[in-house]
């Protein structure tokens, strides 16, 4: 017992949620793994009699309700210049439209949600709108909820946020939930051979995030859409990640983003 106590006291414990195989213990004998069950917790939502389970690791491409999950992990040395020098440790979102596949990388850093998008577009830069009207031209639209996920919820709440980033010269951002321009957002737009590149940082306070502990390491309801205009006027075509036409008003359509900070 005494030797066991000394081993435990001197061991270095390394825990990896991604691998989720257990605790690696290292002592003078070498390394060995102590198996762990998958950590998780249960929660209920006011007005619902259902109990939901959330993994504290949550490292899956599909959530327990079979909705897709995308990950936003820390990105170092972010420079908003339209050049993809930043290194992402997660897979991007791919959205397919009539123009082809658009690839959107998500990350966290510099005090906000970081987005780097290569959008396929045969007529890029079609957006002369300003303010709340930027959704009527080429744009990237993001839905992000800080509420605890309730998969069957169909009514929007105060924690659901919808923002858009104008994808043309002089890009800007707008929050439709706050009915105001995005505060202190940073953007870069440029045309490329297949369409355009849009890079942005949206500070967390635009999603009413105070303490980051409220969004860290858990699945949050999320959707993202490419808005495509063929000319500088309506109509536009919209291609959401969820592939659902009512994604703006129906939270049950959304997938998830897993935030790492």
Residue 246 located in a structural domain: yes
- The residue written with tokens 């929007």 in the block is 156
Question: d(Cα 216, Cα 1) in Å, to the nearest integer?
Answer: 39
Question: d(Cα 179, Cα 99) in Å, to the nearest integer?
Answer: 31
Domain identity same for 168 and 223: yes
Specify the pLDDT at position 66: 85
Q: pTM value?
A: 0.78
Residue 82 located in a structural domain: yes
Specify the pLDDT at position 25: 59
User: Which structural domain, as residue segments, surrounds residue 23?
Assistant: 2-34
Specify the pLDDT at position 62: 62
Domain identity same for 87 and 26: no
Residue 41 located in a structural domain: no
Residue 235 located in a structural domain: yes
Residue 43 located in a structural domain: no
Specify the pLDDT at position 161: 98
CATH code of the domain containing 170:
2.60.40.1190
**Contact (CB, 8 A) for 209 and 215:** yes
Question: d(Cα 255, Cα 242) in Å, to the nearest integer?
Answer: 7
Specify the pLDDT at position 29: 65
- Return all residues near 251 (Cβ < 8 A) that are at least 6 apart: 145, 150, 153, 154, 155, 156, 157, 160, 221
Domain identity same for 66 and 193: yes
Domain identity same for 100 and 184: yes
Dump pLDDT digits (tens) for 24-62.
Answer: 656 666 776 655 544 444 544 444 444 444 444 444 456
Domain identity same for 22 and 104: no
Question: d(Cα 35, Cα 167) in Å, to the nearest integer?
Answer: 49
Specify the pLDDT at position 63: 74
Residue 56 located in a structural domain: no
Tell whether the torsion through CA atoms of 192, 181, 211 and 147 is positive or negative: negative
Extract the residue ranges of the chain whose pLDDT is less than 70: 1-29, 32-62, 64
Domain identity same for 117 and 207: yes
Domain identity same for 9 and 129: no
Specify the pLDDT at position 255: 97
Specify the pLDDT at position 201: 98
Q: How many domains does the chain have?
A: 2
Dump pLDDT digits (tens) for 119-156.
Answer: 999 999 999 999 999 999 999 999 999 998 899 999 99
Specify the pLDDT at position 83: 97
Domain identity same for 16 and 142: no
Residue 54 located in a structural domain: no
Specify the pLDDT at position 232: 80
Domain identity same for 91 and 173: yes
Residue 229 located in a structural domain: yes
| Neighbour count for residue 109 (Cβ, 10 Å) | 17
Domain identity same for 251 and 179: yes
Domain identity same for 15 and 119: no
Domain identity same for 12 and 111: no
């Amino acid at each position: 017992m005494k030797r066991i106590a000394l081993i435990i006291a001197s061991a270095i414990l390394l825990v990896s949620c991604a691998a989720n195989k257990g605790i690696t213990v290292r002592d003078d004998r070498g390394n060995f793994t102590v198996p762990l069950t998958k950590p998780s917790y249960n929660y209920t939502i006011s007005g619902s009699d259902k109990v939901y389970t959330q993994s504290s690791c949550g490292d899956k491409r599909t959530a327990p309700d079979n909705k897709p999950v995308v990950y936003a992990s820390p990105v170092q040395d972010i420079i908003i210049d339209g050049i993809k020098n930043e290194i992402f440790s997660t897979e991007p979102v791919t959205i397919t439209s009539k123009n082809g596949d658009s690839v959107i990388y998500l990350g966290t850093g510099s005090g906000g949600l970081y987005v780097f998008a290569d959008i396929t577009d045969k007529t890029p830069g079609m957006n002369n709108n300003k303010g709340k009207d930027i959704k009527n031209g080429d744009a990237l639209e993001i839905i992000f909820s800080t509420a605890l996920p309730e998969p069957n919820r169909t009514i929007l709440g105060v924690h659901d946020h919808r923002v858009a980033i104008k994808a043309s010269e002089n890009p800007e951002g707008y929050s439709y939930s706050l009915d105001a321009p995005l505060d202190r957002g940073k953007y870069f737009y440029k045309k490329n051979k297949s369409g355009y590149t849009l890079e942005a940082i949206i500070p967390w306070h635009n999603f009413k995030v105070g303490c980051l502990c409220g969004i860290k390491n858990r699945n949050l309801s999320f959707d993202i859409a490419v808005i495509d205009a063929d000319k500088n006027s309506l109509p536009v075509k919209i291609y959401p990640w969820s592939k659902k036409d009512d994604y703006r008003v129906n939270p049950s359509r959304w997938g998830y983003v897993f935030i790492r900070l």
